[in-house]
Amino acid sequence: MVTLTRQRVEQLFDSFRGEKIFVIGDLMIDRYLRGRVSRLSPEAPVPVVEMDSETYHFGGAANVALNLQTLGCDPILIGLVGEDEYGRRFEQLLKDNNLSSEGIIFTRDRPTTVKTRIIGDNQHLARVDIERIVYSGEESEKKLLQRIKSLFPLGKAVILEDYNKGVLTERVIAETLSLAQVQEKISTVDPKFINFMAYRNPTVFKPNIRETSQALGKLLDDETKVEQAGFELLERLKAQSVLLTRGADGMSLFEQNRQVQHIATRTRKVADVSGAGDTVIATMTAALVGGANFREAATLANSAAGIVCEEVGIVAIQAERLKKVLLEQDRL
């Protein structure tokens, strides 16, 4: 584990504060319906939820942007939302959170992706999804690339956040990562199953253990196999580093010098792992923008994930809390 001095922690946070970071990927809304359950429906053996509240939150790539903002960065979202009621709701969420809408493209090709969770007596009873999983057509893809190219000079880094909803096509992936190379910007990737191996030459490739096992067609059930898989991804994707997230087993960082560092989880008591991956990629990227090396960045990301996993629901990491935990952990 990397030891971070108080001075180094403050230096990193000061260095990435206010820096623009792009988040390109699948934009979603998380909708929560909460209420009380006192009876079963006479129409079917299901509980009747008497609703007390309805709330809307950022989901998908938008949650990554929110994490960047709460860390102190200036995120710019680029993606597609529908020309519909929830698209307008998404636009309002941007305004409510003081986030720019200049990278948002409204389209009639697909509805805004919405995940509605029904909570009764603090129990998750059901989830209802509104989405159309189809890869962007030529017109939407063209608009996305035009928006990316026009905005790209403004930022220090780009995060490609893939939920397999169709925004990150092979062309968008290839041209974005090529731009990052040419303009010498940090590029980090949070992949999913489709197009997993299409992310060539990123600064950081951050899959989880299940995605990696499926993509490579291998059972990763011991440390030797995990290390072989990490170095295989490093070589095949020509990545500068691979950060493999492993749930309760923490993370493993692989670098081009054939070095691997296993980082134990910092979570004291897991309440909810939802959104932890978003926090990891956001924190890792922010730290690199601030001048951290890969091991320092992974240390920050691991601590941030531990914090959000102790909270119920999807929450964004707060800069001051992360700094406090980092300093407490290393007894500075």
- The radius of gyration of the chain's CA atoms, rounded to the nearest angstrom, is 20
Query: CA torsion 284→290→291→293, rounded to 10°?
Result: -20
Asked if 63 and 7 count as a contact pair (C-beta separation under 8 A), the reply is no
Task: Tell me the two tokens of residue 293.
Answer: 């090396």
Q: Quick one: 60 exposed, middle or buried, by C-beta within 10 A (0-12, 13-18, 19+)?
A: buried
Catalytic residues: 278
Tell me the residue ranges of DSSP E strands in the chain. 20-25, 27-40, 47-60, 74-82, 104-107, 113-120, 123-130, 157-161, 186-190, 204-205, 241-245, 251-255, 260-263
- Would you state the structure tokens that stand for residue 205, as one six-digit string? 């490739």
- What's at 191, amino acid-wise? P
List of residues 6+ apart from 323 with CB closer than 8 A: 9, 10, 13
Q: If phi over 0 gives left and psi between -120 and 50 gives alpha, with beta otherwise, what is residue 309?
A: alpha
